[in-house]
């Protein structure tokens, strides 16, 4: 029998606000335990949470970009459970009236993933067990950090579709600047709901949920493993149990998690401490006007307007900061294809060598534009330009000053090149004879000798031309 | 609606309350009275009534995204039933 895998995703995204969702504590990553806390985010009785206006703005912006309907009158709800990662014994979330609903994401290849809803909620704290004390230590620095949870319909049929969606989601949220989406720091986390069914069936099988997968690789492998496990069970005539399973990266397998008793009964009810949120048409209009041009739209524009190859357009728009850098460099007069070559090669190379992201780069578009112009004008050899680039990259140093100080100007002085060519020909009679006998290889050797004498700073075209002229005259 | 002792067991478990047998019996009767009143409310026709979740007519109460220095850790921890120098302490909760 052929089986079909059916997947739905719940993605938690940490919002890039300065403060927490319901209090003014910093959201900065790290910090000594419990130093980014106050009575509100540690759940002291009698405190009153107040919504951060940026959280609402970021959630609505994300919803608009994911083609969602925006709920005009939204409210928060309490999700009750006893676990010390939330000191109030409930999480403030949204169940009945989530801020956004019914969206859609086009993931390419004619496939659309429907968004069921997008809601705002608070993150939980961190628990660390101290074996010495045999007690658990609670650190509430992350408690109250704002999250949006984006829930899709069960529209995925493969791991590839899941990854395509997540890549698109990450790009969109990064372009909006509502989240940095760093999976390794947990600012984008994924729960995968998966079931299998005979191909062509229109009812769903029993699903399992895999929690907190924290890399694209883990997600693909967990999906492959879990669908195989379910298919094997069904083919053996057994049944799939609805449960939450944990992915073990080291063992490459999923395991049933100890079921917390009655964990599903969250007894949601409307949060009385936070008044309803009403969205006006003017507010929506302002946010719509602020939406940036997304990666896909930029790719299309770069190809149509500047004739950039599709691959280049994709690479250059992979980070918003790179796309802006590209556009600014082109605006300074550099040829677009030259700029994309430099970005894909040297810029990305240096960023990765420095472990940096494009948005933190010191190098300015003016510096790259100047380098490209010098190469274009024949004043700088391309290979030398790469060396200069590497030298000025970290501090955005002055290209012209560096070239002057290190005597790197390209020699285009035909008089100088001519005299070197003469010397080289006189010193290498054998090679000259070889060339005359038709051995083209000898020509390359002679070019190399001239270049060596000129310390590699001669314009290759000038050397080639002068060498041929003199050989023909001999 | 009939409230059974099993329901009371379940609710007390969710609330992490341990009820002695005599209190459980009393609680069953009390809860039945409270929930019974909901039956009275349920007889009202609410077809065109908007659900009410907040009593006061306020909305959009928000604050600016500006960092305010956090609380002194020692004072925060002083309010907890158990703490060491940098964290709240709770019974073993992670494996
Ligand atoms: Zn706080």
**What would the two tokens of residue A434 be?**
């070889």
pLDDT in tens, A285-332: 999 999 999 999 999 999 999 999 999 999 999 889 999 999 999 999
pLDDT of amino acid A78: 96
Residue of chain B minimizing CA distance to A52: B63
- Asked whether the beta carbons of residue B86 and residue A129 sit closer than 8 angstroms, the reply is no
Contact A103, A68 (CB under 8 A): yes
Q: Output the CA A283–ligand 1 centroid distance in Å.
A: 27
> B60: distance to nearest CA of chain A, Å?
5
Q: How many CA atoms lie within 13 A of A159 on its CB side?
A: 14
Each residue of A348-378: pLDDT tens digit? 999 999 988 898 999 999 999 999 999 988 7
pTM over 0.95: no
Alpha-carbon distance of A339 to A345, in angstroms, equals: 10
Please state, in angstroms and as integers, the Cα–Cα distance from residue A5 to each residue in A107, A113, A201, A226, following that order.
18, 15, 11, 10
For residue A334, give Cα distances in angstroms to A189, A314, A323, A337, A395: 40, 19, 15, 9, 21
A200 CB contacts (<8 Å, ≥6 apart)? A4
Strand partners, A80: A90
What confidence score (pLDDT) does residue A261 get? 43
Check if A37 contacts B (Cβ < 8 Å): yes
The whole-number pLDDT of residue A259 equals 56
User: Residues in chain A with pLDDT < 70?
Assistant: 258-264, 412-413
Percentage, residues of chain B above pLDDT 70:
98
Q: Could you give the CA distance from residue A165 to residue A353 in angstroms, rounded to a whole number? A: 28
DSSP label of A183? G
Domains observed in chain A:
3-283 (no CATH), 293-405 (no CATH), 414-473 (1.10.10.410)
What CATH number was assigned to the domain covering residues B5-42? Answer: 1.10.20
Q: Measured between alpha carbons, how far is A208 from A192 in angstroms, rounded to an integer?
A: 8
A82 vs B contacts (CB less than 8 Å): 16
pLDDT in the model for residue A262: 42
The pLDDT value recorded for residue A367 is 96
Number of DSSP helices (H) and strands (E) in chain A, helices first: 16, 17
Please state whether A141 falls in left (phi above 0), alpha (psi between -120 and 50) or beta.
alpha
Contacts of A56 in chain B (CB under 8 A): 62
Q: Which residue is closest to B83 within chain A, CA to CA?
A: A137
Q: Model ipTM?
A: 0.90
Region B7-22: mean pLDDT is 89
The residues on B that touch A, with CB distances below 8 Å, are 10, 13-14, 16, 53-54, 56, 58-68, 70-71, 73, 76-77, 79, 82, 84, 86-95
* CA neighbor of A39 nearest in space, from A54, A55, A57, A24: A24
């Amino acid at each position: 029998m052929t089986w079909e895998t059916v997947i739905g995703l719940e993605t938690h995204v940490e919002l890039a606000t300065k403060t927490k969702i319901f209090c003014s504590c910093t959201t900065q990553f790290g910090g000594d335990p419990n130093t980014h806390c106050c009575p509100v985010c540690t759940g002291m009785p009698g405190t009153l949470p107040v919504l951060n206006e940026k959280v609402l703005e970021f959630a609505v912006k994300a919803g608009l970009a994911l083609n969602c309907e925006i709920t005009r009158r939204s409210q928060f709800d309490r999700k009750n459970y006893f676990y010390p990662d939330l000191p109030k014994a409930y999480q403030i979330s949204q169940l009945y009236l989530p801020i956004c609903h019914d969206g859609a994401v086009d993931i390419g290849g004619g496939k659309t993933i429907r968004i069921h809803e997008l809601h705002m909620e608070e993150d939980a704290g961190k628990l660390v067990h101290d074996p010495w004390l045999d007690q658990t230590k609670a650190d509430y620095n992350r408690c109250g950090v704002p999250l949006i949870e984006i829930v899709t319909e069960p529209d995925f049929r493969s791991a590839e579709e899941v990854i395509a969606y997540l890549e698109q989601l990450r790009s969109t949220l990064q372009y909006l600047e509502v989240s940095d989406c760093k999976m390794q720091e947990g600012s984008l986390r994924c729960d995968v709901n998966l079931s299998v069914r005979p191909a062509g069936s229109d009812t769903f099988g029993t699903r399992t949920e895999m929690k907190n997968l924290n890399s694209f690789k883990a997600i693909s492998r967990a999906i492959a493993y879990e669908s195989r496990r379910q298919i094997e069970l069904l083919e053996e005539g057994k049944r799939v149990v609805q449960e939450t399973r944990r992915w073990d990266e080291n063992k490459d397998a999923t395991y049933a998690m100890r079921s917390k008793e009655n964990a599903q009964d969250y007894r949601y009810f409307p949060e009385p401490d936070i008044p309803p949120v009403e969205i006006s048409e003017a507010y929506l209009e302002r946010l719509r006007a602020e939406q940036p041009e997304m990666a896909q739209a930029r790719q299309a524009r770069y190809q149509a307007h500047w004739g950039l190859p599709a691959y280049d357009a994709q690479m250059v728009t992979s980070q918003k900061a790179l796309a802006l850098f590209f556009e600014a460099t082109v605006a300074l007069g550099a040829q677009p294809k030259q700029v994309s070559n430099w970005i894909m090669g040297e810029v990305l190379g240096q960023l990765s060598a420095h472990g940096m992201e494009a948005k933190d780069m010191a190098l300015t578009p003016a510096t790259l534009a100047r380098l490209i112009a010098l190469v274009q004008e024949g004043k700088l050899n391309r290979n030398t330009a790469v060396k200069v680039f590497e030298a000025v990259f970290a501090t955005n140093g002055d290209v012209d000053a560096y070239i002057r100080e290190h005597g790197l100007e390209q020699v285009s002085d035909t008089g100088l090149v001519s005299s070197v060519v003469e010397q080289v020909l006189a010193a290498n009679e054998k090679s000259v004879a070889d060339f005359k006998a038709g051995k083209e290889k000898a020509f390359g050797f002679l070019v190399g000798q001239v270049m060596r004498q000129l310390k590699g700073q001669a314009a290759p075209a000038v050397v080639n031309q002068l060498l041929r002229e003199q050989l023909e005259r001999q | 609606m009939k409230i059974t002792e099993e329901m009371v067991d379940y609710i007390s478990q969710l609330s992490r309350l341990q009820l002695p047998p005599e209190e459980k019996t009393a609680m069953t009767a009390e809860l039945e009275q409270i929930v019974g009143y909901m039956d009275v409310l349920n007889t009202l026709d609410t077809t065109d009534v908007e659900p009410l979740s907040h009593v006061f007519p306020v909305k959009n109460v928000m604050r600016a995204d500006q960092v305010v220095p956090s609380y002194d850790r020692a004072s925060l921890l002083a309010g907890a039933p158990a703490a060491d120098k940098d964290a709240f302490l709770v019974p073993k909760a992670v494996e």
